[in-house]
Chain A
Amino acid sequence: MSGIGVIKEENCSGCLRCALACSFFNSLEREFNLSQSKIKIERKNGQNSFKVSLQEDCTGCDICQDYCHYGVLG
């Protein structure tokens, strides 16, 4: 499991770069596929606030942190 975690969920802008990176770099086929990402960005109620969670089968590669520019992960 990853050494990183969600440290500032409230910073999430909903850009989905983490999910794009996870699916691309962790797929044999190298495909961008949001549904295959091991980091999930889910909309909370209201206006564009998000819940960020690492799935159980996350491999711990930390690539999501490399592609998040909002300081959500650390």
Chain B
Amino acid sequence: MEKDFSILIGGEAGQGTRLAGNLIANLFNKLGYFVYVYEDYQSLIRGGHNFSEIRVATEKREARKKEIDVLIALDKNTISLHQKRLKREGFLIFNADRIEQKKGIGLFADKIVKEEGGIPQMVNTVFISALVRCFGIPFEILENVLREKIKKGIDLNLKIAKRVYQSLESQTKVAEVRPLTSFLLLTGNEACALGMARAGLELYFAYPMTPSTSILNFLAQKEDELKVKTFQPESEIAAINMAIGSAFAGKRSAIGTSGGGFALMVEALSLACQTETPILIVESQRAGPSTGMPTYNLQADLNFVLGAGHGDIVKFVLQAGNAKDALFLGNLGLNLAWQYQTPVILLLDKDVSENTFSVDSKILKKLKIKKPKLFAGKNYQRYKITKDGISPLAFPGFDFIVKANSYEHDESGITTDNEIIAQKMQEKRKRKFEQMEKEVEKLGGIEVFGKKSAKVAIFPLGVCKGSAIELAKEFNFKVIFPWILQPFPEKSVKKELKGVKKIFTLEMNSTGQLANYLKKFGILAQSILKYTGRPFFVDELKEKFKKL
């Protein structure tokens, strides 16, 4: 039987609801469910309102539902903001020390923690244990998760958990649905970091900017395990120029930022193009323009990223719709950068970056390091004119003299404004772009879901992919997700559009940037937009499509 329910846990920043959400996700992961965690938090350190929404299902579900089955309230605000979303038969679990409320399961969490001699954040253990009991989940499973995830004060946490567990009655039964499988819980940023590491990433440079920062933090924490060095320089401009230097010297390098930081990097993006230096740029979008809403999502950097760079720019633009994509594309992106000696931009968004997804770990085994074209022979010329536009690589410090130049240059790298040489170099880079187009054809560049012969197709952007897939199932649509955006996978898209009568895009911006981009290729789509900073609810979309 299909099971699909949502749990919302909310409180003030600093109360630890995010960690609690993560523990709940791990618990259901252990039980063999697919898990998707939406994180909603504000740009502040204490106070305010944070919540995690955990969707648990027997099928892969990567979207939010408006209706929730369990509401766990650490503060009063959580009840007033979210109670209207709770199903009539749903459970409300709340902190009776802080909230006066008749209905639901009230726990004197502060009191329990105090009596047991714990610290304030341990109230989360109280609620998780209550949830586990309500769902009839064996205590051992909770114990395993707590032991795995909590290192400090584990005994005390377990004592608190046990006390709560024993004091409550089971309300329902959640059966284990799959044997323990190989599914990992990863945020998009963690997945992206792992994907890059599997492509041989050696140096990662980043200046902190939400929502890309956790790539830097994750890689820094896993430095010795993943063998990737990280560095936080003085600015985004420094980050990209350093990464270009380290790639020039032969080390696989990547950088990460959000829209504002990317804007600062664009001059050097063009430098990477002109010097033909391989570099992967992860751009995780947040709500703009300008500083915008740092912890909320708008997919409104698409135009900017596609058009970024002065001069005739040769680059790849990829987009991820979930953590699995981020893993695969972080890997592919770095490999493509080296194969084509070009900048590659991997577009994420706040929800892909920071939400947690179930990822089949089998995909990790498929990730490889692809070797670039290296020079062998005598008389090295960095910008040798070749048929495919790709000049073999060599690095300074070894056998050859290597000259890389931001000016237009001749084959050896020396500055030129000679019209014949300049034209040849422009054409060389153009031929390289044509090779990249062929690569896109080879890769396909799209993922298709839903009914093959569908008359309606949806193109989702980033995290909207999860909602689109659910919609397609309900209405017999098909979903076309172009994970390569530039060069555009025109052939494979047009093949999929045969027989399609109506096309929609699903995007989180106010102008329909994806629909406008598709127009360039003669694809006319109606855009379904949301631009509140929060991703679509699947039920909200279903209502909308019923009316259409």
State whether these chains interact: no
